Chain A
Amino acid sequence: MDDLIQLLPKLGQATVETLYIVALSLLFGGLGGLLVGLGLYTTRPGNLYSSRVVYGILNVIVNVFRPIPFIIFLAAAQPLARLVVGTGIGNTAIIFTLSLAATFGISRIVEQNLLTVQPGVIEAARSVGASRSRIILTLVIPEALGPLVLGYTFVFVAIVDMSAVAGYVGGGGLGTFAIQYGYRQFNPAVTWAAVLVIILIVQAVQFLGNWLARKTLRR
């Protein structure tokens, strides 16, 4: 217990690092996923920018990368991380790889949620002469906003989960903290403390997401 009290500053720092990694990954992965998801949605056969070829390519890319277990993806994508962000280790590398992995996962969630928008609503917008880009920006996204908020909340939890392996490439955060000071030092109390903080973060974000979704759905 005394160990834990001594470790509290480190726990605080680990929490901040986790939030930093998760926030930036959610930001970049969220944007990437939104773009790829929009690509999947709009090029789907019969949709606004219907294109069998583009849809097929996007579909295959997402299907190839999405199922790779993150810890393997982290190792496999290291050369790419070096190329793009200049380093294969540390928080910067994990944020890059996490954003990339999240892009593929989020794109499916975005696609699925956009598909819930009734085709008739889009037809109505076309019938008043709205352009395709206007329909996507002013109609499709707002109409799907409630489910999208819930989708992103779900993704947040998944990113917290994935961020826990940051230690493997020299990154920090609660995962690293729990393994380094809890598991490896035979001090379960420290591990549980990290678990508790993660539960609190997840609860807070889930609560926020539900509240936002309720506001946008007005129910």
Chain B
Amino acid sequence: MALVSLRDVTKTFPPSQRGGTPVTAIDRVSLDIEAGDVYGIIGYSGAGKSTLVRLINALESVSSGSILVDGVEINGLRESELRRLRLGIGMIFQQFNLFNSKTVWNNVAYPLRVARTPKHEIGPRVDELLSFVGLSDKAKNYPEQLSGGQKQRVGIARALATSPRILLADESTSALDPETTQEVLALLKRVNEEFGVTIIVITHEMDVIQTLATKVAVMDAGRVVEHGDVFDVFSRPRELSSQRFVSTVVRGVPSPSELAVLRERHHGRIVTLSFRDGNTSQGDVFLRLAQAGIEFELVYGGINDIRGQVFGHLTLALRGDPPAIDAALSDLTTTVEITDLGVTSSGSGA
């Protein structure tokens, strides 16, 4: 059975002003997260992602529905039982949220003290964690003396201190530069692979999903509109809101305004070829176009690699004998999905 299981979970916040309407942050969400998953939760800001993960470690209480963590219903647990639950769920934050009044060493030791770990076990455990995140030499420093990436590594060490089975990552790399992001993602990947920690990662960055996630859920207005394998959701988003989100991180079929720009600069017939099944060869497609005597130019698009599976959308401007183009395209429909965007008006040549 799933490690974390949400059934019809709803969270409403009381109105901010007297007489206002309550705000539904999470709307009847059901989701299963298996042990060992790296589960991405994506969506625009305000979609309810942060609230959703805070329900899992009960930083927020659910209004209705059921949340099972490791088979235990957490809705209705007493505060003391919730504290025990939280010891088994680590959390890292966008703004790191380190304790500025404590050294790096004491930041990492804090959860262990909360868990009443015997003193002689705390020392070796903290040293071990700091060496895992590569910050042994910073033990006596204070958070303000660290860079953003180092702070997040301390955050990870602190979150892992009590050996939780679940790690919640709330936009954990959004405040970092691209290079540091990669560093932190590599570390999280090791956390998942070496310790078998299940990671639930909120993000709006494609990078994070691409390098880390195995499954993904798309949230919109408090609902999970789509979920599944990362490759499936990104290569074939079914719901409108996921299509919208995916299109902001993956270049798909050009929008009307983009098409207008393309038309100005390129003439010929413009088509978008969508590679969706992960093993279609672009080389093969190009070869067949060339063999049909069609001149083509790549004008827009991109190819994405998710854990070795490839998908993407390439927009081409095709020039040649129209019947030959028609024939070639109908021949290609068996291997790729084609969106015909039409011919640039002949007036452009005048």
CB neighbours of A120 from chain B (8 A): 93, 95, 97
Chain A 193-219 interface mask (CB, 8 Å, partner B; 1/0): 000000000000000000000001010
User: Mostly helix, strand, loop or mixed at chain B's interface?
Assistant: mixed
User: Per a CB cutoff under 8 Å, which of A127, A138, A216 touches B57?
Assistant: A127
Checking B83, B90, B100, B110 against A143 with a beta-carbon cut-off of 8 angstroms, the contacting residue is: B100
CB proximity of A47 to chain B, nearest CB, Å: 14
| Smallest CB gap from A140: residue in B | B101
User: Is the CB of A67 closer than 8 A to any CB of chain B?
Assistant: no
Q: Are B97 and A128 in contact (CB under 8 A)?
A: no
* Interface residues as binary, A117-134 with B (CB distance below 8 Å gives 1, 0 otherwise): 010110111111111001
The CA-CA distance from A120 to B99 in the complex, in Å, is: 10
Give the residues in chain B near A90, CB-CB below 8 Å. Answer: none
Q: Which residues of A contact B110 (CB under 8 A)?
A: 125, 128, 130, 138
Kindly list chain A residues whose C-beta atoms are within 8 Å of the C-beta of B91.
124, 127-128
Given A128-B161, A142-B99, 13 more contacts at CB 8 Å?
A120-B95, A123-B59, A124-B93, A124-B158, A127-B59, A127-B168, A128-B162, A129-B85, A129-B115, A129-B162, A130-B83, A131-B83, A143-B99
The answer to whether the Cβ of A145 comes within 8 Å of any Cβ in the partner chain is yes
Given contacts A123-B93, A218-B142, contact A128 B101 (CB under 8 A): no
CB within 8 Å of B: which of A129-177?
Answer: 129-131, 134, 138-139, 142-143, 145
Question: CB-CB < 8 A to A123: which residues of B?
Answer: 59, 93, 97
Interface centre among A124, A134, A143 (most CB of B within 10 A): A124
25 residue pairs bridging A and B, Cβ less than 8 Å apart: A120-B95, A123-B97, A124-B91, A124-B93, A124-B97, A124-B158, A125-B110, A126-B86, A127-B86, A127-B90, A127-B168, A128-B86, A129-B83, A129-B85, A129-B114, A130-B114, A131-B114, A134-B114, A139-B99, A139-B101, A142-B101, A142-B102, A143-B100, A143-B101, A216-B101
* B-side contacts of A142, CB under 8 Å: 99, 101-102
Top 3 closest A-B pairs, CB basis? Answer: A128-B111, A124-B97, A129-B86
Minimum CB–CB distance from A14 to chain B (whole Å) comes to 40
Q: Which residues of A contact B162 (CB under 8 A)?
A: 128-129
Residues of A within 8 A of B (CB): 118, 120-121, 123-131, 134, 138-139, 142-143, 145, 216, 218
A123 to B83, CA, bound (A): 13
Most buried by A among B83, B95, B102, B159: B83
Q: In the complex, which residue of chain B has the Cβ closest to the Cβ of A144?
A: B101
In the assembled complex, B7 has its CB within 8 A of some CB on chain A: no
B89: Cβ under 8 A from any A Cβ: yes
Complex interface residues of chain B between 148 and 169 (CB less than 8 A to chain A):
158-159, 161-162, 168
Closest to B110 in A: A128
- In Å, the complex CA distance between A189 and B18 comes to 62
Asked whether any CB of chain A lies closer than 8 Å to the CB of B84, the reply is yes
Which residues of B have CB within 8 Å of A139? 99, 101
Say whether A129 contacts B87, CB under 8 Å. yes
A126 touches B114 (CB 8 A): no
For A125, the chain B residues whose CB sits under 8 A away are 99, 110
Tell me the nearest residue of chain A to B93, going by C-beta.
Answer: A120
CA distance in complex: A129, B161 (Å): 12
Chain B hits for A124, CB < 8 A: 91, 93, 97-99, 158
Identify the closest chain A residue to B57 (Cβ): A127
Chain A residues with Cβ below 8 Å from B93 are: 120, 123-124
Shortest B91–chain A CB gap in Å is 4
In this complex, the member of A128, A145, A218 whose beta carbon has the largest number of chain B beta carbons within 10 angstroms is A128
A120 CB to nearest B CB, Å = 4
A121 to B158, CA, bound (A): 13
CA distance A125 to B79 in the complex (A): 14
Chain B, residues 161-184, CB within 8 Å of chain A (1/0): the string is 110000010000000000000000
- Residue from A118, A130, A131, A218 within 8 A of B97 (CB atoms): A118
Q: Contact between A128 and B114 (Cβ–Cβ < 8 Å)? A: yes
- Closest CB of chain B to A104's CB: distance in Å? 27
Closest to B95 in A: A120
Which residues of chain A come closer than 8 Å to B161, judged between CB atoms?
A: 128
Task: Report Cα–Cα, A143/B143, bound state, in Å.
Answer: 12
C-alpha gap A138/B101 in the complex (Å)? 10
Interface string of B68-101 (1 = CB under 8 A from A): 0000000000010001111101110101011111
| Contact pick for B87, options A121, A128, A145, A216, CB 8 Å | A128
Cβ–Cβ < 8 Å partners of A126 in chain B: 59, 86
A128's contact among B79, B98, B102, B158, by CB below 8 Å, is which?
B158
A132: nearest chain-B partner, CB-CB: B79
CA distance A126 to B158 in the complex (A): 13
Name the residue of chain A whose CB is nearest to the CB of B88: A129
B222 CB to closest chain A CB (Å) equals 21
Give complex CA distance A120, B85 in Å: 19
**Chain A residues with Cβ under 8 A from B111's Cβ?**
128-130
Cα(A121)–Cα(B93), bound, Å: 10
